[in-house]
Amino acid sequence: PRTCHPDKNSVIVPCVPWRQVPALGEGSAGCQDCSHFLLMCFRCFLQGLASCFGICAINHLEETLAKLEDFVRSDVFKKSVGLFSIFKDRSDNEVEKVKSTLILCYGYVAMYAPKELVLSRIEADILKNIFQYFNTKVLGIKVETKDLTLKLCLIRSICMISQAIYKGVKCGDFIFSRKAELVAQMVEFIKAEPLETMRTPVRQRAMITCTYLVSLPPCLPGLALWDEMQCLHSLALKDLLKRLLQRNLTPHGLQDMFAHLGPWIKSNKEHERQRAVEVSAALLDFYLSKLNVSTVIPFYNLGVLIALFSPRCSDSLAGVRQHAVDCVYCLLYIQLCYEGFARDHRDEMVEGLKALKKGLEEPDFTVLFHTCNNIAMVIGKRVPPDQLMSLLLAMFEGLADPDKNCSRAATVMINSLLKERGGVLQEKVPDIMSIIHSKLEEVDEEHVRKAAQQTVYILASQHKSVVVSSLLGSSLPFDSHTCTMWRSLATEPTLTSQILEQLLEKVNRDVPYKESKCFLLGSGSERIATPLPLAATCALYEIMSAPESGAAVLGLYPPLFVTLLLRVSCTVGVQLPKNLQSRERRSSSHGPAPRSLHPCSCAVETLKVMLARGGSEEVARAVGNAGGWELMVSPERHHDGIAVLAGAMARHAGPRLPLIVKNLVPTLSGVFDSQRITTTAFFAELLNSNVVNDLILLETMMDNMTGRQKDTCLLVRMLALRGLGNIASGSPEKVRKHGAKLLASMVNGMDDKDDPHNLVALEAMSSLSKLLDHVEERDIQSMLLHIAIRIRPFFDSEQPDLRQSSIVLFGKLTKFSEGNCEVFFEQILNGLVTLLLHLQDPKPEVVKACKFALRMCGPNMGCEGLCDMFLNHLREDRSLHYGEFMNNVCKHLMQSYPEMLNRLILTNLFYFKSNWVDIRAAAPMFIGFLVLHVDEDHCQQVDLDQLISGE
């Protein structure tokens, strides 16, 4: 027959009298008789003979193979008995015919035999014997046969074996281990044929055989298959691949074909790419010409295939560029056919691709990428929605293309497609963002990094919330690639502002920390940072670190400043979650970490970069020079760091303050103590500057400070008093206007009932001392005595600050005593002994305060000599001889107030048990000098027993 698909009912052997061969195929005897009969016609009916062996194998596979095996073992050059003895007198030509017949017999046996039986015998018996006869060795060296008949029989036999396997694997598992070897043999036959005649019998049949072989399991790797076939002449290769494709003219068949061709299309060798893309264009054109769609079906792999070819439109080879456009052109028309359009339908946009080919003739990068952008626009308008994502995913793979032109073209096309169609990809944005990150890790090229940033920007312009959420889901600390993606959101002010607003909302929406019980019993609880605000803070840092973000930061300066300031306050003393602690340690162990992930440090760094990007570099520099940033992260000194920042803002960023103050005011009634502390500290220091008066903020801030006097947090109450006291420095003229209100606040502070360590009282006394320089006398008179009595116990406090502040305040109060001279004189006498003794205080600042208070008291004591002594001997710059000074003081006291002797002695007796040695020593000396200078008439005031006992 003329086909490789013989039918046992149509085998034609014209000269064989079939009626003389009864019961053919029935019983082994019948098989042998028929074989003898057929062999008589061997020379004329070679194919018929082989067919008969195939027919015998239908029911008698084992016997048929055994007979063939017997002949294989025999020496065909010696006299044989049995089935093939008719060849005992044979020439070399006849030997080749015998080999040809035998090889063909095996092919027909494989073709006809039951598939469930023959599959196990193909490699073990059939192929082994075929190649034993085909390969001739001379002196151990393989010699290629020149006999055409032998070659053709081998090819046809392998073709039939391949068909048998193809049909057999449908009902079982079979791995054809010699497949690669047979493909290589067929390719060798094809290569050996003359190039001037493309359609020779050997070439044609070998290519047909290859089409069957390549479809058998196992699949050959694409590189291996192409390795075998690439050296074929282009026409032969195209012809072979077209035959392969025609066997499965479906999208799946197309996918299988280009799975093999793909590595060569992307090869870094120019000649390989040239040939692969040229063959691809021919195959797609062939596919389109043969396509006959009867029902509308999806071209499921359109996106993958377009992504394979479209980046090659900027290949370094002009020929590749041209053929790549042809491939895209065919693919889009194939898609139109699958959509139901006629094959001769012409689409205006797709036809436009032909016109774009001219722009690919010259290797000018600008022209090439512009043309690629136009091609992507056509693709974007014609690719169906269900293929868009697969197109993009496959296109991202092109970023790693060894040809940098094609890699750049892939980036251009990705961004063009996203601009055109990205609006419908909201659900896929997280996947795309993940792919971008992985590609940044994979491809370390500047053009890829810039293109990835552009991609993120395009996605964000269409799906801001999804992009932000996706990036916030990245692992902390952000790696360099995630940081790159964040910074890409800083390129356009309007979008950047919207992104910053979203991040601010995420910082503020969730609680900044959660309480967690410590592992050790009795160690209380610790605060653990919540992940979303922490990630959003890190994201703000990355965006604002990009210089392009300047305009957006300026536009959002007040809310950014306020949010970050409060973020700093909420994270003081807050710890990282345990998983992030270990991750940060691992990160730092692999090299220096770019930034600390510690919540408070992270917030401080973000605030610093915000100030720098917002045009307040001088503020950031001033705070840094004063050590303010370090103070802010300290739980004990945080409010001092905030005061440094507020002072710098007042000096260098005054115009920014009105909106900042407006945004901060609501936090004074917030639930977090830390935020109220920070805001109060910030306001308190602003009141130390006249800028708040210039900006008409003073009354608002003063009212807010006054309102904090009842705050549940002691530190807030203390800072509120500090702020009210700072008005004396910042706006002294306003003290006179609001004197009564301010003084009342100070008195309330000194009377604070929930002040176990007298911190509020201390601040009240210090602030009141500053205010007294500017208040009207009428405002202080009504509370003068109350204040003097209230502060008296602090003179002997164990805390030096309390001693110093109370004594200074007492001294300042004396200038208002003229209206209540007798009443306040009594307070001076009550405090006189204490003040004189504390001239021996171990703390220099207390000694200084006592000198000041005594100088202020002197004019109100009605003793000119004593007043002169205080003014002359208690100057700050003058050292004091205490014993001599006390001797003279006691002399003046006893001369002017002898009736006060017993009162003065009793007060001194109290200090006999003082904790301070020098004061304990000074008290007896004080008494001695008093007694020494008192008149005899007043000696009876002294209770000697009490004096001797020291009680």
Is 828 found in the same domain as 708? Answer: no
Angstrom distance (rounded) from CA 644 to CA 604: 14
> What is the rounded average pLDDT for all residues in the chain?
85
Q: With 0-12 CB in 10 A as exposed, 13-18 as middle and 19+ as buried, what is 836?
A: buried
Find the mean pLDDT for residues 109-128: 85
- Give the pLDDT confidence score for residue 142 in this predicted structure: 54
Q: Domain boundary residue among 782, 803, 833?
A: 782
Per-residue pLDDT band for 92 (boundaries 50, 70, 90) equals: low
Instruction: Give me 576's structure tokens.
Output: 């990282």
pLDDT score at 589: 47
Helix axes of 251-265 and 302-309: crossing angle, nearest 10 degrees: 20
> Which is it for the CA torsion 465, 468, 474, 477, positive or negative?
negative
Looking at the DSSP bridge assignments, the partners of residue 529 are 513
| 363 pLDDT tier (thresholds 50, 70, 90) | confident
More confident residue, 611 or 517: 611
Tell me the mean pLDDT in the region 358-370.
81
pLDDT for 389: 93
**Residue-level pLDDT at 42:** 46
- Model confidence at 24, pLDDT cuts 50, 70, 90, reads very low
Is 409 part of any domain? Answer: no
Q: Which residues contact 346 (CB under 8 A, 6 or more apart)?
A: none
Percent of the chain with pLDDT over 70: 86
Q: Is the dihedral of CA 226, 232, 237, 240 positive or negative?
A: negative
Whether residue 216 lies inside any domain: the answer is no
Q: Are residues 9 and 99 in the same domain?
A: yes
CB-CB contact of 304 with 395 (8 Å): no
pLDDT at 753 over 80: yes
- Structure confidence at residue 792 (pLDDT): 92
81 pLDDT exceeds 50? no
Confidence class for position 419, pLDDT limits 50, 70, 90: very high
Structure confidence at residue 565 (pLDDT): 97
- 773 in the same domain as 637: yes
632-671: pLDDT as tens digits: 999 999 999 999 999 999 999 999 999 999 999 999 999 9
The least confident of 523-527, 707-711, 726-730 is 523-527
In a domain, 911, yes or no: yes
- Run of H or E including 138: strand 136-138
Same domain for 166 and 27: yes
Residue 198's pLDDT is 59
Question: Residue 668: what pLDDT?
Answer: 94
Asked if the model's pLDDT at residue 99 lies above 60, the reply is yes
Question: Residues 242-278, buried b or exposed e (16+ Cβ, 10 A)?
Answer: bebbeeeeebebbebbbebbbebbbbeeeebbbbbbb
- Residue 734 has which token pair? 């306003």
Last residue of a domain, one of 159, 174, 189: 174
In a domain, 882, yes or no: yes
pLDDT at residue 366 in the model: 82
Whether residues 778 and 826 share a domain: the answer is no
Question: In this structure, what token pair is assigned to residue 264?
Answer: 């060569």
Across residues 729-747, what is the average pLDDT?
92
Of 492-496, 591-595, 658-662, 773-777, the range with the lowest mean pLDDT is 591-595
- Residue 270 included in any domain: no
Confidence at residue 120, expressed as pLDDT on a 0 to 100 scale = 83
Residue 750 pLDDT more than 60? yes
Domain total for the chain? 3
Looking at the fold, whether 771 and 867 belong to one and the same domain comes out as: no
Mean pLDDT of 546-552: 96
Q: Are residues 17 and 151 in the same domain?
A: yes
Last residue of a domain, one of 174, 200, 218: 174
Residues 846 and 920 in one domain: yes
Q: Are residues 40 and 145 in the same domain?
A: yes
Above 60 in pLDDT, residue 88? no
Give residue-wise pLDDT tens across range 310-328.
999 988 888 999 999 999 9
- For residues 894-901, give the mean pLDDT: 89
Cα separation, 397 vs 321, in Å, equals 19
Q: Is residue 841 part of a domain?
A: yes
pLDDT of 171-215, one tens digit each?
457 788 888 888 888 888 877 877 666 578 887 888 788 877 877
For residues 476 and 534, the answer to whether their CB atoms sit within 8 Å is: yes
The dihedral built from the CA positions of residue 25, 29, 32 and 34, taken in this order, carries a sign that is negative
φ and ψ of 41, to 5 deg: -100, 20
442 against 35, higher pLDDT = 442
Residues 305, 303: Cα–Cα separation, whole Å: 5
CATH code: domain of residue 775 = 1.25.10.10
H or E element at residue 928: helix 917-933
Domain that holds residue 854: 821-951
Inform me whether the pLDDT recorded for 226 exceeds 60: no
Q: For residues 535 and 597, what is the distance between their CA atoms, to the nearest angstrom? A: 10
**Strand 136-138 versus strand 513-517 pairing type:** unpaired
Out of 554-558, 735-739, 944-948, the most confident range is 554-558
* pLDDT band at residue 518 under the 50/70/90 scheme: low
Of 512, 518, 509, 516, the C-alpha closest to 530 is: 512
**So what's the pLDDT on residue 117?**
84
- Give the least confident one: 211-225, 473-487, 806-820, 853-867: 211-225
C-beta of residue 417 within 8 angstroms of C-beta of residue 455: no
Whether the pLDDT of residue 86 is over 60: the answer is: no
Residue 525 phi, psi (nearest 5): -125, 165
Which residues fall within 8 angstroms of residue 467, CB to CB, at 6 or more apart? Answer: 429, 433, 456, 459, 460, 489
Residues 119-128: contacts with CB within 8 Å, 24+ apart? 119/164, 119/165, 119/168, 119/169, 119/172, 119/174, 121/61, 121/65, 122/161, 122/164, 122/165, 122/176, 123/176, 123/177, 123/178, 125/65, 125/69, 126/65, 126/161, 127/161, 127/178
Same-domain check for residues 846 and 778: no
Q: Specify whether the CB–CB gap between 83 and 67 falls below 8 A.
A: yes
Confirm if 225 and 183 have CB atoms less than 8 A apart: yes
Please tell me what DSSP assigns to residue 18. Answer: G
pLDDT at 951: 60
Q: How many CB atoms lie within 10 A of CB 65?
A: 22
Of 74, 43, 72, 69, residue with least CA distance to 57: 69
Residues 697 and 751 both lie in one domain: yes
Closest CA to 749 of 706, 799, 699, 702: 706
Predicted confidence band of residue 118 (pLDDT cuts 50, 70, 90): confident
Of the listed ranges 209-223, 380-394, 428-442, the one predicted with least confidence: 209-223
pLDDT at position 79, please?
42
Question: In terms of domains, do 745 and 842 share one?
Answer: no
- Span 511-535, mean pLDDT? 79
Residue 49 in any domain: the answer is: yes
- Average the pLDDT over 364-391 and give the result: 89
Distance CA 632, CA 381 (A): 56
Q: Residue 693 falls within a domain, yes or no?
A: yes
